[in-house]
Amino acid sequence: MRYLCLIYDDENVVNAMTPAERETRHRDYFAVTQEMRDAGQHVAGEALQPVATATTVRIRNGKLSTTDGPFAETKEQLGGFYLINAANLDEAIQLAAKLPSAHIGSIEVRPVVDFSQQPS
């Protein structure tokens, strides 16, 4: 059986962390990831960029609508996820709009943190 673990953080709390606290958190994440890898239990994991980078894609009456932010309605529940490769946000939006749920629900498109591009 495979399980998806969804991580919910308060960005304000995370942003308020001292460099030392942040360092500890990174180390803890790294350690648990390594533990899962060694046990053959790790399939995939990514960190998402802050919620300010989110874009919500919907199709209503055949028209694509794109809005800033993660404004999923509370009556909608998380039903799945796609991890995609796209050259830029426009391409990602086009792919998201192809998912059937774009017509009745909404697709939140959020960039994944690329740790190779992070300042050292």
Residue 14 binding another protein, by CB under 8 A:
no
Length of the chain: 120
Residue 9 binding another protein, by CB under 8 A:
no
Residue 55 binding another protein, by CB under 8 A:
yes
- In the DSSP assignment, the letter for residue 48 is B
Residue 11 binding another protein, by CB under 8 A:
no
Residues 79-98 that bind another protein (CB under 8 A): 87-90, 93-94
**Helix runs in the chain, H state only:** 11-15, 19-38, 89-97, 101-104
Residue 101 binding another protein, by CB under 8 A:
no
**Which residues in this chain contact another protein in the complex, by CB under 8 A?**
49-50, 52-55, 63-69, 87-90, 93-94, 109-111, 117, 119-120
